[in-house]
Structure 1
Amino acid sequence: MSKTIQLLCFALLFQTAAFSKDYILRSPDKKITINISVGKNITWSVLKDQELLIKPSAMRMILKDGINPGIIPVVSKTISKAVNQTIVSVIPVRNKLIPEVYNELRLQMKGNYAIEFRAYNDGVAYRFVTNLGPQPIEVNDEKVAFNFHENCQIYLPKEDNAELQSHYEGDFKPSKLQEIPAEHYGYLPLYVATPAGTKMVITEADLHDYPNLFLYGTGTKTLTGRFPKVILEASPKPNSDRAEVIGRKANYHAKTTGNRTFPWRTIIITSSDKELLENEMVYKLARPNILANTDWIKPGKVAWDWWNDNNIYGVNFKSGINTETYKYYIDFASAYGLEYIILDEGWSKSTTDLLAPNPQLDIEGLVKYATTKNVGVILWALWKPLDQHMEAILDQYVKWGVKGVKVDFMARADQYMVNFYERAAQETAKRKLLLDLHGAYKPVGLNREYPNVINYEGVKGMENNKWEETITPVHNTTLPFTRMVAGPMDYTPGAMLNSNKDEFHVSMTSPMSRGTRAHQTSMYVLYDSPLQMLCDNPSNYLREPVYTHYIARFPTVWDKTIALEGKISEYAVVARKNGNNWYIGGMTNWDARGFDIPLTFLDGKKYKIEILQDGINVGKHAADYQIISKEVVAGEILHIDMAAGGGYAAILTPIG
């Protein structure tokens, strides 16, 4: 090689090295590392201990008028900080006190933007921050990529709607990264397991005035992000009061202010599945509560009408959507200490007029009656009519004395819909109304900023048993490690007609569940849901008062959650504390199994434990269960047995 060529090569290497600058950010426990490289673009890679999880993956934004944060970046300043504090949760979905411990690196760039990185002991996150002035900016695209080091196993709920419309009720089925072809996509959260056993869940948090992120396959070990475009024209689908046909769309996916923070792109990282049962990453990354008064926000259990088709019996009136039927629900709720009833679809004269009650219903009289029984009433509403006349509708609900609104069938995740969620949260909070979001995308932390956002659906839950056969114990033991990692989910448990593996049949009027009665019971401990349903027919519950009194004792919020056992699609066991009491819930897939649980989480007191477990004849009759009471102390070994498709629940109360 000539001396000239050698000098040229040296110069090129020198220029490359000079152009690229690397930064390292580690978690407080030093086990997780983010490597950030700033060259022609910005990339990050992520390691846990010595295992490479994410290879260099680029991040950038494409704005109108040639403003492109992340392209040819120049760092003007770095700001580091360490945070060690405690979040006090207003509505504690998993824990009342949430440790918030992380290290942060902010790269301030020339061009009036920054990128913030955080490293927690249980994950990592980054986001863009712009300071481009108060004038609107158009975001044409955002580059989001996850270049995995290995061909990992994933659970990505796949979608096929070209408009990115969905009710977000997909199946979480296992596959490998390289099996996801280009143009096939799924929504978040995404579960990932490396060959070495590290678990990751990818999602987003602090989503405001910006569309949801969807992940597309590439046929390789890389997933790339895309976003719904801004919808300029949409029309009602023929013969439908809720479905939309998307017409014209903009060439950008957000028009927003130039001074703002953008959503966190986060990777939750754990050594085992069971740690995901305790994770609070989305809540930690969300904006703090902004409501001055939250005393009026009351979580609780709900007697629900829609799943059981108002198919009550043993009464002297015709059941249906009428005042007599809902008084029956109220009496049932009052007798068992349930805080609410829901009047679902059908309570209004039409689904598009939310101010005119069904002629068979005396709403004002019903709410007054419920008030005398210490039961609150929540009303169902289609999102579009509510969006068009929100203030007038909510004002009327307040006049009626209603306690909350269940908003349904949004089925979109674009910028407008994200803003609808926040507007609904604001307007309901002003009026001291709870908000339950159905037909909804996954939680992104809005329930921390507005604690009156009491629950989300966005899950393939019990209702699907009315028309298909996909809700199995395998599905139920997958949800705690996938969808539920993002936040609370309105799965709506409580089926009283239970079936073993080959006994299930579809019914719209007398629906049933797959798995045992104890399997259903375990959901009242295992499934995060501050507004938790008793989905079945009150007549069925009233026929079994011992069982109904048992499930009615479970709280819906928790001071502390401890994961005991867990493996995706196989089993989950947790212990939770509320006040002085502890509760244990466990469920399994179609494999019978047992666990020995050391009661090390108890204090020095003696406890009465009331166990509900699969009965001896559960293999023939899935609703068979038995309740056992005894005394236990801290450190004692508790043996848990679960039948095929079974479950386990326990209530522990201190003695003396």
Structure 2
Amino acid sequence: MMKRLFALGSMTALLGACTPSTTLLSPDGRNSVAFDAATMTYAVLRDGDTLIRPSALGIAAQERDFSGFRFGVVHHTSGDREWSQPWGENKTHRDRYNEMTVELHNSDDRTELCLRFRAYDDGVAFRYELNAPDSLTVTDELTEFRFADEETAISWSIPGNFETYELQYREQPVAGVRDANTPFTFRSGKGAYGSVHEAALYDYPEMVLRRDAEGVLKADLAPLPNGVKAYIPGRFTTPWRTVQLGDKPVDLINSSLILNLNEPSKIADTSWIKPQKYVGVWWGMHLGTQVWTMGPRHGATTENALRHIDFAAANNIQGVLFEGWNQGWENWGGSQHFDYVEPYADFDLERIAAYAREKGVELWMHAETGGNIPEFEEQMERAFARYAELGVHTLKTGYAGGFKGGYLHHSQYGVQHYQRVVETAARYGIMLDVHEPIKETGIRRTWPNMMTREGARGMEWNAWSEGNSAEYLSTLPFVRLLAGPMDYTPGIFDIDYSTAKADKGRIEWNGPNAHCCIKTTLARQIANWVIIYSPLQMAADFIENYEGHPAFRFFRDFDADCDRSVALQGEIGDYIVLARRAGDRWFLGAGTNGEARTLAQPLSFLEDGVTYTATIYADAPDSARNPENYRIERRTVTSADTLEIAMAARGGQAVTFIPENE
């Protein structure tokens, strides 16, 4: 069958009756989208300065001839409402925007295309809404992103990849970017900050930016094995293409744009969806001191499980995770066959679940698929029913390795699978922590049991590679975390595990990667519990390294169920200061790159008229040389005070602010 192009750019001659140019302004008048019907392009401006030059719009499909479109109607509307969610960086958001829709019809009025634009004070967005009599085979998306001043505009991103997000960040001129995953963060030549991403990704492949043969960055969709990008019904809405905007880097972090572009929750009763802190059997497998399979070094044993549950109960920690509890890990690298219900013989699941209930601790299950999606989907109902029967409300899933059948993780096949898991889990009252995920696009508003994801280089990279630098950690909040929460698994206290430390009562480490270590100070590890947001937040080290440690008081006091968050100051790749409120307590986290620095931070975010006890977990004077050294200081403060944050190279600072009358 001949392929025919549905390309908005090919409709120019058919739209003579259309107003040549229409501009949509944000409520504050600073951001705008300029739509030109004569060329079928859009442009993005801030304060009158062009950030994205006129760029093409369009989708290519086969099976149907979409020529003969004519201009219909342009609608303008606006919205301004507040909404709340059961959890999140902020539980209350303001959704204020101006909207413009452009209708296009084909000659027989059987097909309609709507281009919907929105302008917010923190960015702009647009999407395609199709109403056709037949289903379509999408072969390409023609959306372009022609950045202004490409030679002087700077970007921060990871390479474009349809299989993984666990890649290093690159800081480079936009002109030097050949491909990039989103969020794609940039600073314009005139100093405005922005980030390109997408919102509400359903039933469609992910978008990366890729420079085409003409040298233009455009949308590239993850293909299916036959090269097709997506099969869609005649009535279909694409994800939003988004551009968050701000004057400062922290403005991007404080944006609600991605969440605002998603629909309200489809789960009527969300009372079972609760943020929590957790510990578990995990870090040892990456170090090599424990393994996932049954045997002498098996981590997920009954004895180990009961010990972790006791530790959690004694330390104000709500959950425990055990990787390697279920049968099938012996097939790793082969058939990738797992049984998602049957435990290993040395893991008494019934006893462990009962003990966790007795202690008031949540038991987490872990389901690694190894990319065997058909098998996981076949067992999913049975497994989730069993977890619910055991009183399990949290599941960590994994997708390490290639998908069977040649499917890409981030293709339409992958997106559909991840969504089936979210919806099935919701029916059984199960929250999700997804590793090797599809990227976050704000669907946690609609499906709030989608709690957190990996989707970047996490802590485990420090166990068997060159590790994650302090610069990487200072970039993460301004790129990956703009998409949503991340299960980074922070909080390693045994910073240098390259030599055995039996004399300190620590776990001995003599594995093949003995040169590896954590590349921050201990104070920065504490600060990461605040900086790297996740409603499911892990203390990832061996519990032996926390027992009796004075600095672990921070995690005991910390509350993962925050009400409000504010990024206070920072520069991409250099440093970050961020504060979160949970109830009447505030928690602050600050971190720097390889450069020592001292920052002055006004405490005006604290409630006026309240006196707080500030407990400060800071770098010691010699932390640059001895990263496990730290100091704890307590002082009385109010919102009128200014905190001096002194950080060693690769260091940080964490602070709890607790009202004195509490």
TM over 0.5, shorter chain: yes
Q: 1:89 aligns with which of 81, 85, 90?
A: 85
Residue 562 (str. 1) matches residue 566 (str. 2)? yes
TM-score, normalization by structure 1: 0.88
Structure 1 pair 356–510 and aligned structure 2 pair: CA distance change class (3 A):
farther
Q: Deviations over 1:471-524 (max 9, x none)?
A: 0100000000000001001111011122599xx998669974111011111111
Aligned to 1:275: 251
Structure 1 pair 219–201 and aligned structure 2 pair: CA distance change class (3 A):
farther
| Rounded Cα–Cα distance in structure 1 between residues aligned with 2:20 and 2:594 | 52
How far residue 191 of structure 1 moved from its aligned partner, in angstroms, is: 1.0
| Rounded Cα–Cα distance in structure 1 between residues aligned with 2:277 and 2:36 | 50
Aligned partner of 2:326: which letter?
W
How far residue 361 of structure 1 moved from its aligned partner, in angstroms, is: 0.7
Number of equivalences = 607
Aligned to 1:105: 100
Aligned partner of 2:264: which letter?
P
| Rounded Cα–Cα distance in structure 2 between residues aligned with 1:279 and 1:202 | 13
Aligned to 1:398: 388
Aligned to 1:618: 623
Aligned to 1:170: 167
Aligned residue for 2:554, secondary structure, equals helix
| Rounded Cα–Cα distance in structure 1 between residues aligned with 2:274 and 2:514 | 31
Aligned partner of 1:522: which letter?
A
Q: Is the 8 A contact 2:284 2:299 kept in 1?
A: no
Gaps of 5+ in 2: 1-11, 106-110, 291-295, 330-336, 403-408, 499-508
Q: 1:44 aligns with which of 42, 45, 58?
A: 42
Aligned to 1:426: 423
| Rounded Cα–Cα distance in structure 1 between residues aligned with 2:342 and 2:13 | 74
Q: Deviations over 1:456-478 (max 9, x none)?
A: 11011111011111401000000
Q: 1:542 aligns with which of 544, 547, 565?
A: 547
How far residue 318 of structure 1 moved from its aligned partner, in angstroms, is: 7.4
Aligned to 2:187: 193
How far residue 382 of structure 1 moved from its aligned partner, in angstroms, is: 2.5
| Rounded Cα–Cα distance in structure 2 between residues aligned with 1:614 and 1:389 | 49
Structure 1 pair 369–505 and aligned structure 2 pair: CA distance change class (3 A):
closer
Q: Deviations over 1:364-404 (max 9, x none)?
A: 11111111111111121134232222111111222233222
Aligned to 2:327: 348
Q: 1:654 aligns with which of 639, 653, 659?
A: 659
Residue 63 (str. 1) matches residue 61 (str. 2)? yes
Q: Is the 8 A contact 1:500 1:645 kept in 2?
A: no
Aligned to 1:302: 278
How far residue 177 of structure 1 moved from its aligned partner, in angstroms, is: 2.3
Q: Deviations over 1:571-593 (max 9, x none)?
A: 00012211111111100001111
Residue 578 (str. 1) matches residue 577 (str. 2)? no
Aligned to 2:52: 54
Aligned residue for 1:53, secondary structure, equals strand
Q: Is the 8 A contact 2:17 2:71 kept in 1?
A: no
Aligned partner of 1:86: which letter?
E
Q: 2:470 aligns with which of 469, 473, 477?
A: 473
* 1:488-527 superposed matches below 5 A: 488-498=485-495, 512-527=517-532
| Rounded Cα–Cα distance in structure 1 between residues aligned with 2:70 and 2:570 | 45
Aligned to 2:159: 158
Aligned to 2:307: 328
| Rounded Cα–Cα distance in structure 2 between residues aligned with 1:221 and 1:193 | 20
Aligned to 2:118: 118
* 1:339-378 superposed matches below 5 A: 339-350=318-329, 352-378=338-364
How far residue 311 of structure 1 moved from its aligned partner, in angstroms, is: 5.0
Higher mean C-alpha deviation, range 344-353 or range 429-438: 344-353
Q: 1:439 aligns with which of 436, 440, 459?
A: 436
Aligned partner of 1:653: which letter?
I
Q: 2:377 aligns with which of 387, 410, 415?
A: 387
Aligned partner of 1:95: which letter?
N
| Rounded Cα–Cα distance in structure 2 between residues aligned with 1:403 and 1:509 | 37
Structure 1 pair 38–386 and aligned structure 2 pair: CA distance change class (3 A):
same
Q: 1:464 aligns with which of 437, 461, 464?
A: 461
Aligned partner of 2:139: which letter?
N
How far residue 120 of structure 1 moved from its aligned partner, in angstroms, is: 0.4
| Rounded Cα–Cα distance in structure 2 between residues aligned with 1:221 and 1:51 | 22
How far residue 14 of structure 1 moved from its aligned partner, in angstroms, is: 12
Q: Is the 8 A contact 1:349 1:357 kept in 2?
A: no
Q: Is the 8 A contact 2:181 2:209 kept in 1?
A: yes
Higher mean C-alpha deviation, range 106-115 or range 485-494: 106-115
Aligned residue for 1:275, secondary structure, equals helix
Aligned to 2:218: 224
How far residue 355 of structure 1 moved from its aligned partner, in angstroms, is: 2.1
Query: Could you say what the CA RMSD is over the residues aligned between the two structures, in angstroms?
Result: 2.5
How far residue 199 of structure 1 moved from its aligned partner, in angstroms, is: 0.9
How far residue 530 of structure 1 moved from its aligned partner, in angstroms, is: 0.5
Q: Is the 8 A contact 2:470 2:594 kept in 1?
A: yes
Structure 1 pair 46–598 and aligned structure 2 pair: CA distance change class (3 A):
same
Aligned to 1:234: none
Q: Is the 8 A contact 1:300 1:339 kept in 2?
A: yes
Aligned to 2:600: 596
Q: Is the 8 A contact 2:530 2:578 kept in 1?
A: yes
Aligned partner of 2:230: which letter?
A
How far residue 218 of structure 1 moved from its aligned partner, in angstroms, is: 4.4
Structure 1 pair 500–270 and aligned structure 2 pair: CA distance change class (3 A):
farther
Aligned to 2:333: none
Q: Is the 8 A contact 1:21 1:38 kept in 2?
A: yes
How far residue 145 of structure 1 moved from its aligned partner, in angstroms, is: 0.9
| Rounded Cα–Cα distance in structure 2 between residues aligned with 1:512 and 1:277 | 29
Aligned residue for 1:174, secondary structure, equals strand
How far residue 270 of structure 1 moved from its aligned partner, in angstroms, is: 0.9
Q: Is the 8 A contact 1:307 1:511 kept in 2?
A: no
How far residue 137 of structure 1 moved from its aligned partner, in angstroms, is: 2.4
Q: Is the 8 A contact 2:395 2:432 kept in 1?
A: yes
Structure 1 pair 15–100 and aligned structure 2 pair: CA distance change class (3 A):
closer
| Rounded Cα–Cα distance in structure 2 between residues aligned with 1:199 and 1:261 | 28
Aligned partner of 1:126: which letter?
F
Q: Is the 8 A contact 2:326 2:339 kept in 1?
A: no
Aligned to 1:136: 135
Percent of pairs identical after alignment?
29
Q: Deviations over 1:254-294 (max 9, x none)?
A: 11221122100000111111212212221111121110100
Q: Is the 8 A contact 1:456 1:488 kept in 2?
A: yes
How far residue 124 of structure 1 moved from its aligned partner, in angstroms, is: 0.5
Aligned residue for 1:444, secondary structure, equals coil
| Rounded Cα–Cα distance in structure 1 between residues aligned with 2:660 and 2:450 | 36
Q: Is the 8 A contact 2:341 2:383 kept in 1?
A: yes
Aligned residue for 2:78, secondary structure, equals strand
Aligned partner of 2:282: which letter?
W
How far residue 19 of structure 1 moved from its aligned partner, in angstroms, is: 6.4
Aligned residue for 1:196, secondary structure, equals coil
| Rounded Cα–Cα distance in structure 2 between residues aligned with 1:318 and 1:64 | 55
Residue 252 (str. 1) matches residue 205 (str. 2)? no
How far residue 180 of structure 1 moved from its aligned partner, in angstroms, is: 3.0
Q: Is the 8 A contact 2:185 2:479 kept in 1?
A: yes
Q: Is the 8 A contact 1:155 1:190 kept in 2?
A: yes
Q: Is the 8 A contact 1:216 1:225 kept in 2?
A: yes
